[in-house]
Structure 1
């Protein structure tokens, strides 16, 4: 008998106009000690299955048919009180963003002991000891001190460990992990996944791992179920599904995964159930201004860049504590080059990018652009010209787009700010940009919430291209996107670099993506550059122990099928 069995499950969401089926007759089972992966594009129904098992479907969502069995007993259809007794005690969930599942007003100790006492018959002192043991168990150092700290005092990886401790504190039979490592860098991701594998092996906990990261699936799971548009299209042992996929959609999904050992000219696109939205690079290139770059002179010269942030305020200078986020960093970026920066969270990658963009003031050192010292651009005209040449694409397109503005207003904003056009010419230019990024001019009348994550990132790209910049800063532009949408966005960025000669700074914790996109890569640790090499040389022969450690932690993806890759090499 399976630990968890889902049979013929259908989940529906009635709307004013129609009945939307989020999950359509899905079957899935989890054995004790098994990690079962659930993959598919955004909207495939993965998280809906997790919510249905937990009894957390948002109204008016409902289970229309099928059943969910835990150890042979049906749990679908139980009333709210009965589900509340199961939730947390028998079935626990690890959410994607640990901050949403931790209360910022309570210490870690208070949150753990409250959950323990709600489900287990323990005294306050026994609950506190159990909480302390759990914090130690999930690998948080100095548990006696960290227990009395608040969630904001922990890093992203440490907060995720706290969430895992919360999920384990009642000794559940099943854990549902919904994108538990999406926002984490490669080293912290490896720690979290090793912890989940250890728990499944030692305590025979059944795990449903929901993710769009095929490397995580390949390295972590025992079995995998692939979903598309609410339906299960393929299921089986991970080795078989990843290495010899049978369904067209699974083959397309695997082909779109960036590989650390094969450099592709373009990423293969999902060919099942739709087609790639065309990016009109030829139309864009036809009226892009031609800039003559000096081949003997770098476009950017970064020298001894340093940035400190105030940690503790004080009336007197010696009472203040500062944290050095970037420490004496120097490098050049050649015109037309894609320069990558990698490193763990907190290594200083994004801070460097923000100083180059002028979003953070420089404490020490200098930034020189096209032979001109940026700090000397004091007059308004010169500063505006620099800002017109430098544009940024952020990690989360939704938070970087004003939800109260229509898309055409968002794209037109930088054109108006820099006074590049007036009147009807602005509307024509915005319509052209939206057409060129594959959204169509009609998208301008909509608001950001009406688009998917990949479409919102296309809006961000259209806005970044509105001023016809010479330099793009891409700060984790695909980390929140599933693999098929990631392939589309990366292809757009490749086209921009190849056809327009755009220079880019590409920041990511996804090393296979960096392998595909960048010409040279700087490896940062604790605010310093510890290694800088050509991309091929870095991946083939890293020179520092830290770079070797990062590359060793990278999913190897050796078992993934290579079907469909040859034509793109």
Structure 2
């Protein structure tokens, strides 16, 4: 019997001026043991379908037409009490943002035990034991100890695994997984996807996997439905849709996917629907003061860099506990080079970046920038002179942009702070940068919340370029973006490096992206740099077991169509 049937589903959100059609006449089925991928850009209607199935549409959103049936019984239109008997028990959902899914005032164990007891009616002791088993199953180390911790004491990837454990508590028949691996590194992503596949195979659980990651779709799903602006444009088996797409939109999406085995000069832009974004690098390059070459040809050198964090304070120093996040890490970055750092969550990648940016103090080692010892700079004037030459693009553009400032104020702020321009020249630079990153000068009068994730990341890039830096730190700049917006951002970064002579540190857990972007790569594990090599050499001939393991977990994408890529292959 078919587990879930969606027929002619339409979801409307009435506004003061018109009715916004989020989903229009969508069809989808999920069989026992089947993983059905739902793919498309942000705003395509994927998550709205998941919310409609769960009865979690935010008012005034409502199902305007069609039906949702579970095991042949219509469930759309049920009242709150009727949905409560299904939600969690028979149909579970893994939400995209683990922070908003977990109660910050309760320990992880309390939340798991509460859910288990509600659905399975077990004793306190049995519920706690099952909670520990679930945490172990989703790959959380030392679950006996971690069960009594609070959500803020877990990394982003760890919190996502807790959310998945919550979804598994009741052993549901259907799981709706909404971007379950977006924030996870390649090893944890593989672990979670293997768990989902195991559930589908052994328990015959049906899964709707909502994602913008085409690698996850290609390697995990049995069937795929592609959505564009609320409508289903293509549906079929994964091999058929990924290997021989029929719709122009599907072809464009697949062409924008970074390949682990093919290096391209530029990513093809989305050619369907008139949504292509141009980045006018030539105009920007004319007004860009190209950086002077470094004295030695090596712009940045990191030597035995270390960082520890206090995890437990005590009045007696010997009883204090510390965590070593970075342990004697060394590497260098040459003029005009893109140096990549990869590794699992918690490996120390972002901590290294923040020490280079002087956002964290070092506990040992040396950072040298163009023959200047940065770790020896203590005066405000000297630090400002260094910081003017570097800028950082953060992983989450929304939290790195001040929500109370207009976009033009955000971009102008570093220019004013470093006293680089005055008066009308500041506004001219802001307008120019907004034009060059494809947003237009009118965007300056808006606030960050008025933009999509990809647009906010372009604002972050414009702000980072405002001081015309010599060195750019990119910390997971595309991890939360769908594949077409990721292609646009990566093309912008490629153009910046090629035409403006920028030197970059590129941090990512997405190995295919790293292969496309970086000249050399360093691999970090548990705070240590375990391998540094030229990118192509690292991917072709890794020297350490850990690097080989990471590369083996990378999505293979062997069956993806290469139509639209032939002219870009290096």
What band does the TM-score fall into relative to the shorter chain? over 0.9
How far off its partner does 1:131 sit? 3.7
Structure 1 residues 111-130: Cα deviation after superposition (integer angstroms, max 9, x where no partner): 22322332344454554454
How far off its partner does 1:253 sit? 0.1
- Match of residue 359 from structure 2: 359
Alignment of 1:234-253 (within 5 A): 234-253=234-253
Distance 2:529 2:129 in 1: 42
- Match of residue 99 from structure 1: 99
Q: Residue 296 of structure 2 contacts residue 370 of structure 2 at CA under 8 Å; is this kept in 1?
A: no
Structure 1 residues 379-408: Cα deviation after superposition (integer angstroms, max 9, x where no partner): 443322211110000111111100100011
- Match of residue 554 from structure 2: 554
Q: Residue 4 of structure 2 contacts residue 71 of structure 2 at CA under 8 Å; is this kept in 1?
A: yes
Distance 1:223 1:277 in 2: 30
Structure 1 residues 319-339: Cα deviation after superposition (integer angstroms, max 9, x where no partner): 211111111111110000000
- Match of residue 30 from structure 2: 30
Inter-CA distance 493–80: structure 2 relative to 1 (3 Å threshold): same
- Match of residue 161 from structure 1: 161
TM-score (norm 2): 0.97
Distance 1:292 1:138 in 2: 50
- Match of residue 219 from structure 1: 219
Distance 1:39 1:71 in 2: 24
Structure 1 residues 286-311: Cα deviation after superposition (integer angstroms, max 9, x where no partner): 01113331484301111111111111
Structure 1 residues 503-559: Cα deviation after superposition (integer angstroms, max 9, x where no partner): 000000000000000000000011111000000000001000000000000001111
How far off its partner does 1:185 sit? 0.5
TM-score (norm 1): 0.97
- Match of residue 417 from structure 2: 417
- Match of residue 477 from structure 2: 477
Distance 2:404 2:105 in 1: 30
- Match of residue 462 from structure 2: 462
Say which SS state the counterpart of residue 271 (structure 2) adopts. Answer: coil
Structure 1 residues 308-357: Cα deviation after superposition (integer angstroms, max 9, x where no partner): 11111122321211111111111110000000000011111111111111
Inter-CA distance 15–4: structure 2 relative to 1 (3 Å threshold): same
Structure 1 residues 411-443: Cα deviation after superposition (integer angstroms, max 9, x where no partner): 110110011111111111111111111111111
Q: Residue 98 of structure 1 contacts residue 159 of structure 1 at CA under 8 Å; is this kept in 2?
A: yes
Say which SS state the counterpart of residue 340 (structure 1) adopts. Answer: strand
Distance 1:232 1:411 in 2: 38
RMSD (Å), alpha carbons? 1.5
Say which SS state the counterpart of residue 397 (structure 2) adopts. Answer: coil
How far off its partner does 1:167 sit? 1.5
Structure 1 residues 137-158: Cα deviation after superposition (integer angstroms, max 9, x where no partner): 4454555444444334444444
- Match of residue 400 from structure 2: 400
Q: Residue 295 of structure 1 contacts residue 335 of structure 1 at CA under 8 Å; is this kept in 2?
A: no
Structure 1 residues 441-481: Cα deviation after superposition (integer angstroms, max 9, x where no partner): 11110011111111111111111111010000000000000
Equivalent residue pairs, number? 569
- Match of residue 87 from structure 2: 87
Mark the runs of 5 or more structure 2 residues left unpaired by the alignment: none
Structure 1 residues 213-251: Cα deviation after superposition (integer angstroms, max 9, x where no partner): 000011111101000000000001001111111110000
Mark the runs of 5 or more structure 1 residues left unpaired by the alignment: none
Distance 2:409 2:95 in 1: 34
Q: Is the deviation greater in 292-301 or in 149-158?
A: 149-158
Alignment of 1:266-305 (within 5 A): 266-294=266-294, 296-305=296-305
Inter-CA distance 143–396: structure 2 relative to 1 (3 Å threshold): closer
Q: Is the deviation greater in 150-159 or in 554-563?
A: 150-159
Q: Residue 186 of structure 1 contacts residue 510 of structure 1 at CA under 8 Å; is this kept in 2?
A: yes
Distance 1:109 1:384 in 2: 46
Say which SS state the counterpart of residue 523 (structure 2) adopts. Answer: strand
How far off its partner does 1:91 sit? 0.6
Distance 1:137 1:369 in 2: 45
Distance 1:518 1:536 in 2: 9
Say which SS state the counterpart of residue 529 (structure 1) adopts. Answer: strand
Distance 1:292 1:207 in 2: 55
- Match of residue 375 from structure 1: 375
Say which SS state the counterpart of residue 480 (structure 2) adopts. Answer: coil
- Match of residue 387 from structure 1: 387
Inter-CA distance 109–353: structure 2 relative to 1 (3 Å threshold): closer
- Match of residue 515 from structure 2: 515
- Match of residue 177 from structure 2: 177
Say which SS state the counterpart of residue 269 (structure 2) adopts. Answer: coil
Distance 1:191 1:96 in 2: 17
Inter-CA distance 147–371: structure 2 relative to 1 (3 Å threshold): closer
How far off its partner does 1:103 sit? 1.9
How far off its partner does 1:363 sit? 1.4
Distance 1:305 1:133 in 2: 38
